[in-house]
Amino acid sequence: MSMLITDDVFIAFLEAAQFEDGQLPLGAAINPSQVARTAGLDVTVVHACVERLIADGLGHASQDDPNGFQIDDARVRFTLHRLQRRATKSEQGSVYNIQIENSTIAAFSAGERAGASGTANVPTGSFLQNQRASNLSPAPRGTPAHGTQDLRAAGEPDIDFAILTAIEVERRAVCAAFGLTEKDRVKKGGRWYWRGKLPLRGGDSYEIVVAQPVDMGQVEAAILASDVIRHWSPNAALLVGIAASTDPNKVKHGDIVVGKSVWYYEHGKVTPEGTKPQPEMIPADAALLKHFVGMANWGGTVPVKRPDRKRSGTKVHLGVIASGEKVIANAAVRDEIASGHRKILAVEMEGYGFSRAVWESFERVHHLDIRGICDDASSSKGDRWHKYAAAAAAEFAKHFLLDRPITPTRKPYGNSPFRPAQ
């Protein structure tokens, strides 16, 4: 049988669990019955919330107490912050479907709590206490959770997509594709961003922000991704730019590679017998990948002339993108990297830092790496294809967004203070 757990119920559960955890000795298991009393929830609902907690990676079942569970306090704090913000986007909140065995409760809503007995003290001014007083009405925007800081201005629109780039030619291509100019610059935390919106069918729109780091490379990409998430809390993030082909016979200059996964090949152990590789793979967001597989065909139109003077020829490939720390201009080294995984189609220098930062963040951000091919990583590589490849990646990214891979956070775009992209 299914139980529907709304965000406001899950928030009440998380805060009660966090409160109870603070009253216990280090490493002790939290008792679901006590959480039910603290939160004013039915114990069956609490068990459903525990299932969601474990599924979301916010905690785990106790090994010592078969009925208890433990939480990851830091992840719970940031998840609370995210959910409180998201609660303002609809009166219903999002719904999480939990399978409950041997339960006679088919559904549970905020106004239909039953079966909980007893009361418990909760922190003064906590979200749980405030929600009790207001019958679980959504928390106002900008209310930080447990000391975290929301760096967006009050009333500022939520960001649907953050588009990250590594170098100027990539950022200029993205801004051109989305109709952003110097008038759209916004400064936060010492960084310049380009803010705008992308109108969609039916009067909806995506709120977007574009960013570029000081320099290219994994560390810069990771820092930029972390800053973007901290400054804007986007729903999704794309890394859009150029890369080298690792299979020149299949993936040509000007083609697009969408990263199913990012393959970081630099890790390893140096021994007297040689280096033993220890690559790491980070998968792209499943929801974005699923949408890509069934999305509308792209016509391949790029507003930049191809260096080879061909009228068309751009193809889109789905595969693994290798990511390292060095510019590769040696065909033998390129082939050695590509031999690490049979699905590798491209190689670049920022995908791992970007993906790792997003994956490690406490915000649940969808992410995807989109690359235009500018060379073949051989000794003959140069900058001749940079502008076209960057423009191709940017135009494809725009096409991908116009196909609505995720639900926009705002409806109609006329309510936003930022002008729509052309």
Same domain, 307 and 182: yes
Q: CA 27 from chain center: how many Å?
A: 31
Same domain, 183 and 124: no
Parent domain of 395: 161-415
Please give the tally of structural domains in the chain.
2
pLDDT attached to residue 220: 95
Task: Check which CATH number belongs to the domain holding 65 and give it.
Answer: 1.10.10
Let me know if residue 63 belongs to a domain: yes
Work out the number of other CB atoms within 10 angstroms of the CB of residue 247.
17
**129 and 167 inside one domain:** no
pLDDT score recorded for residue 113: 34
Do 419 and 197 form a contact (C-beta atoms < 8 A)?
Answer: yes
Which residue stretches of the chain have pLDDT < 50? 1, 88-150, 411-417
Using an 8 Å Cβ cutoff, are 280 and 324 in contact? no
Same domain, 114 and 170: no
Decide if 79 is inside a domain.
yes
Residue where the block lists tokens 């039916």: 202
- Among 84, 116, 133, which residue terminates a domain? 133
Same domain, yes or no: 312 and 409: yes
Q: Specify if 330 maps to a domain.
A: yes
Whether 320 maps to a domain, the answer reads: yes
**d(Cα 30, Cα 15) in Å, to the nearest integer?**
13
142-174 pLDDT tens trace: 333 333 344 555 557 789 999 999 999 999 999
Does residue 421 sit in helix, strand or coil?
coil
* pLDDT at res. 166: 97
Phi, psi torsion values for 356, nearest 5 degrees: -65, -45
User: Which pLDDT belongs to residue 241?
Assistant: 98
CATH number at residue 301: 3.40.50.1580
Question: Is the residue at 167 inside a domain?
Answer: yes
- Domain end marker among 84, 118, 133: 133
Q: In the chain, count of helices (H) and strands (E)?
A: 11, 16
Residue 88 lies in a domain: yes
Q: Is there a domain that residue 145 lies in?
A: no
pLDDT at 138: 35
The Cα angle at residue 251 between residues 250 and 254, in degrees rounded to 5: 145
Same domain for 47 and 167: no
pTM above 0.85, yes or no: no
How do residues 46-78 score in pLDDT, each as one tens digit? 888 888 888 888 888 888 788 888 888 777 777
The predicted pLDDT at position 153 comes to 57
Residue 314 lies in a domain: yes
Per the structure block, which two tokens stand in for 118?
Answer: 């007893």
- What pLDDT does residue 410 have? 64
Residues 6+ apart with CB under 8 A from 420: 179, 196, 197, 198, 199, 205, 413
> What are the angstrom distances between the C-alpha of 127 and each of 21, 122, 132?
16, 10, 9
Tell me the C-alpha distance between 142 and 230, whole Å.
13
Q: What gap in Å lies between CA 260 and CA 63, rounded to an integer?
A: 35
At CB < 8 A and 24+ separation, what contacts does 99-103 make?
99/1, 99/2, 99/3, 99/51, 100/1, 100/2, 100/3, 100/44, 100/47, 100/48, 101/1, 103/1, 103/3, 103/44
Residue-level pLDDT at 26: 75
Same domain, 248 and 393: yes
169 shares its domain with 88: no
pLDDT given at position 51: 87
